[in-house]
Amino acid sequence: MTAKISYTDVEVGTELPAQTFPVDRATLVRYAGASGDFNPIHWNERFAKDVGLPDVIAHGMFTMAEAARVVTDWAGDPGAIVEYGVRFTKPVVVPDDDQGALIEVSGKVAAKLDDNKVRVDLTATSAGQKVLGMSRAVVRLA
């Protein structure tokens, strides 16, 4: 499968469609089961607060994966990402209510590279705070 976006059609500054991803406690439980990460900071409010967190927090890798979805949806092919990295700057706090939290992600083509690749810089926030820093993906386009 190849990327749907053509390298020749993309310019530096091209904005990827922004997306918002809801996350609630049930999502965290499902992710814990899939990932095997059952750390109680991701499901036990009392434990999370005892270790100094404001509440239960989303898994960092979950947050990272949601941000990557903006790139894979835009490129049309998850295999188009050849590099991806982030720094975790703030946790996504997930309250125990009917709404949970939102992870808001936007992206922009920051550079055109050799071999039909582009660098996409991502911005991910939750509750008005940046939750990922230095979030960048290198994507090979058609």
Q: Which of 12, 13, 103, 92 is nearest to 55 (CA)?
A: 92
Per-residue pLDDT of the chain (142 residues; tens, 9 = 90+): 445 799 999 999 999 999 999 999 999 999 999 999 999 999 999 999 999 999 999 999 999 999 999 999 999 999 999 999 999 999 999 999 989 999 999 999 999 999 999 999 999 999 999 999 999 999 999 9
141: left (phi over 0), alpha (psi -120 to 50) or beta: beta
Can you give the pTM of this predicted structure?
A: 0.94
**What residue ranges define each of the domains in the chain, with the CATH number in brackets?**
7-22+59-140 (3.10.129.10)
Give the Cα separation of 58 and 61 in Å (integer).
8
Give the Cα separation of 67 and 125 in Å (integer).
10
